[in-house]
Amino acid sequence: MGEQDDFLGQVATVARRHGVGPGEVREVPGGVANRGFVLGEQLFLRVSRPGYEDDLRKEIHVVPAARSVGVLTPAIVEYDAGRQLIDAPYVVMEQVHGTEPTEVPAGLAEQLARLHQIEQPGPAALPEVEEDGWGDPWRTIEDLADRGFIDPGTATWLSGWFTRLAERVDAGGPKVLIHGDVAAHNLLAGPGNDLRALIDWGDAAWAPPAMDFAKLPLTQVAALLPAYQHHLRSPAATRRTSPTVHTAASASARTAGSSDSEHELAAAILWFHLSWALAKLPAAPWPNQRHWTAPTTSRLLGLLQFFTTTPPAPWGDLV
């Protein structure tokens, strides 16, 4: 038997442990951080790839916290880092039946509003979640100009744009628990495009809530934002909050209905889209990837497309 056969035999052992026969095990292609296997009709196995063990361990803490505030994500059935059955950490989770959506699924705005209730430091069971922040786009712009990716005039214009955005955002605002990779490949939707689950929490972090909108195209973000802010204001958004969870939603709700709040959130989201777009410019091409941000210029071209198609308020005021 080869190494691959040995590994699949180990997977079958885990499946049998949960009452699933080898004939009911099927590998799902793809997955950067984990290999995934369908175990019958009710369970799903994810086995960490080398170098991503910490991401899987993080999920063990994040998933229960997200579920405690009503976020739709599969429950964890078993986590094992002992390498006795499989020579890698693995997690067995409930299986949610759905497909990758082609557009923003109904219910995503409410799920993000629920998740963003969990304000740092959050429950004591979240020690594995790192902190992420605003970065330094001015330094990025300076570096791009020094390396010849942009001309000095464009660098001055971009620096001024970030300076204007900085006047609109509250960099000292609360950091919340974000999913960190809200994109189509991490969403499961039903036949009516209703959201059934938000999956894969390996990129979860304490960060500004705006960062969770940075991996969706701005056209989708602009359509999603009104419902997101509505759910932040709604009592239903805090109804299922655990007593151990601090809520950012209550603080945000005081201003969520105002134009100032709309401008602040949109400006913060634009900050991440633009800064990440610029940071990606020097990267090497990454062909044959399904995510829209994989090509080095996709984000910048997405920004160009968005702002040349008469975006809704308040976006037009942010250029």
The answer to pTM > 0.75 is yes
Task: Please give the pLDDT value at position 238.
Answer: 47
What are 2-11's pLDDT values in tens digits? 788 899 999 9
Alpha carbon distance 214, 217 (integer Å): 8
Alpha carbon distance 178, 204 (integer Å): 5
Eight-class DSSP state of 106: B
Domain with CATH 3.30.200.20 in the chain: 3-94
Eight-class DSSP state of 175: P
Which of residues 279 and 256 earns the better pLDDT score? 279
Q: In angstroms, what CA-CA distances link 311 with 109, 223, 315?
A: 19, 10, 6
For the chain, the average pLDDT equals 91
Q: Which helix (H) or strand (E) holds 21?
A: none
What is the arithmetic mean of pLDDT over 36-59?
A: 97
Domain spanning 3-94: CATH superfamily: Phosphorylase Kinase; domain 1 (3.30.200.20)
Domain with CATH 3.90.1200 in the chain: 108-318
Q: In angstroms, what CA-CA distances link 235 with 72, 155, 230, 273?
A: 18, 44, 10, 30
Options 3.90.1200, 1.10.1740, 3.30.70, 3.40.50; CATH of 108-318: 3.90.1200
249 pLDDT exceeds 50? no
What are 265-284's pLDDT values in tens digits? 999 999 999 999 999 999 99
Alpha carbon distance 58, 200 (integer Å): 11
